[in-house]
Amino acid sequence: MSRPNPIYMAGFLLLVVAIYGAAALLKGGLYVGNYEGDTAHLVDLVLRLAAGERPHQDFMTPLGILGYAPIALFVRLGAGVGHAIMLGQVLVALCLVPAIWWAGVSRLSGAWPYLFGFFALVLVLALSQGQVSSATSIAMYYNRWAWAAAYVAVLVAVTEPRHRRSALADGLSIGMLMAFLALSKLTYFISFAVPLLLALALRRQWAVIGIAAGAGAGVAALVTLVAGVAFWGGYLGDLITVASSGVRPYPTAPFLETLRLPTHIGGTLLMFLSVILLRQAGQRYEGLILLVLAPAFFYVTFQNFGNDPQWTVLAGFLVLLMRPGEEVKNPFGWDLRQALNMAAVAFFAIGSPAAFNMIYSPVVHFGAADADYTPFLPNRPDHADLKGELERSYQFKVSSAPEYPAVAAQARALRPVAEKTVLNGEVLNWCEIGNGPVGWYRSMAQELDAAGYGGEDRIMVADILNVLWMFGDLKPLKGSGPWYYGGAPGLENTDYVLVPFCPYKTSERRRILKAIEARGVPLTEVYRSELFILLRRGAIQG
């Protein structure tokens, strides 16, 4: 097949960035129709970083700084957070263009470099997390960014150049992309580091390994120079806290169960079939590397909420590159080149639902009706360009477990028994909020303001999300984070603890209150309403 024209390839990639970036920005704001909690999590991190707070020191998060710094940069420059999110994605895409270009012009032929480059950029620029919902969402965007970087790093590391050779370009591409993974979503770095190192070693690419290691070390040195040595200790500490936390042992389902889910079993079996076919075709290196990559693909998918199998499209490209160059038959008489062609097509088919969801997501976003959306942060006019769907933002939907004494005895016996939340001897009812987070947080913030609390008061929310400060005249709690992973982070800087009657997660409300009690900290009630109890924090023991 024909080798790609490098100028055409570069122009095509820049055109994709321009079209997708413009399609998103022309709407005039970011219209979010799903996963409002994840949106609040992102905005919290972005606003804190833009305000000068230090990640892993002033606030807690397992997400690496490069996972949200591109967005915070534009907020710092004066953009509303809605536009900043979209501009941040464009910036990340532009930074990835050189590596995507090199992977395409050195390894792929015909139309394949353009298809590979297009999808890698779509992963960055999409306005949907994939999965099965077509609603516009910025949730888990950092997983998309990480997959895009992983696509390029894997392709360059495990396949031989076909058209152009440069150890320097290979090493810089792999080193910089792996550094990005380490500083955005460490799970990807851990999962792919060994397979890529093994692939390079088996191909005796010692110069590439050295250059990649040097590039990664250079990035680490630059981060240390800018953020200080304490950054690394804080980052490691946050990661250890999350890894050892019992709050969420796995995002969706256990590892082995994830592999056999109806949405995953086809890809799982196809991966092992492809390894067998490659080995039968005499592609021993290729079969080994695909086998080694399989656990990395599976683990990253398991670790990400929603378990989107984004690896299947990459596997399709790899199988096409790894197939034998001519007809080879196995003991069953199969033409193994054609069999691997079919395997690649099957991989693309499995990945197509999420892929097409992301590809046309800017069209869905542009078609959002203004009347159906409302500012996500209603008290922050400078960020009015971030909008949430009106009904999802304000229409309360809750789950509760009331007691019905008259219900049948068998039903009472089978009723789930949850551990009670006890606050100063009072048992709080089980209740969890679904829709309506903007109205819920805004209502609590307004109530606090009317009762005379706010301003410099530091308030901890006993819930899985601690983002109340963004919806009122409040300050972020130093030492805490937008998402709860265990303990009572920020307790030493807290003035008050707010205990909602209907939190997002009743289990996490209970965990936080137990952690406070375990540290011997008294809580004195100072205010109560239909929504929450506010308690003043006493002296911390020890």
153-197 confidence digits (pLDDT tens): 999 999 999 888 899 999 999 999 999 999 999 999 999 999 999
Query: What share of the chain in percent tops pLDDT 90?
Result: 68
What was the pLDDT predicted at 416? 55
What was the pLDDT predicted at 412? 57
Q: Which tens digit of pLDDT belongs to each residue from 429-462? A: 888 888 888 888 999 999 999 999 988 889 999 9
Find where tokens 């196995």 sit: 330
Treating both helix axes as pointing N-terminal to C-terminal, what angle do 284-303 and 141-158 enclose, rounded to 10 degrees?
Answer: 170
HSE-up of 143 (CA within 13 Å, CB side)?
24
Least confident segment among 134-138, 225-229, 418-422: 418-422
Name the most confidently modeled range: 194-203, 413-422, 479-488: 194-203
Pairing of strands 373-375, 386-389: antiparallel
Q: Which tens digit of pLDDT belongs to each residue from 99-134? A: 999 999 999 999 999 999 999 999 999 998 777 677
What was the pLDDT predicted at 409? 62
Gyration radius of the chain's alpha carbons: 25
Q: For residue 494, what pLDDT band results from cuts at 50, 70 and 90?
A: very high
Q: Where is pLDDT greater, at 409 or 51?
A: 51
466/484 Cα distance (integer angstroms): 7
Stretch 486-513: mean pLDDT, rounded? 92
Q: For residue 201, what pLDDT band results from cuts at 50, 70 and 90?
A: very high
**Cβ neighbours, 10 Å, residue 528:** 12
Asked whether residue 97 carries a pLDDT value surpassing 90, the answer given is: yes
**Distance in Å from the first CA to the final CA of the chain:** 71
Asked whether residue 407 carries a pLDDT value surpassing 60, the answer given is: no
**Mean pLDDT of all residues belonging to the chain:** 90
What was the pLDDT predicted at 260? 72
Contacts for 217-224: CB closer than 8 Å, 24+ residues apart: 219/175, 219/176, 219/179, 219/183, 220/179, 223/65, 223/183
pTM over 0.85: yes
* CB-based burial, 305-319: b 16+ in 10 Å, e otherwise: bbbbbbbbbbbbbbb
What was the pLDDT predicted at 395? 80
Asked whether residue 75 carries a pLDDT value surpassing 90, the answer given is: yes
What was the pLDDT predicted at 246? 66
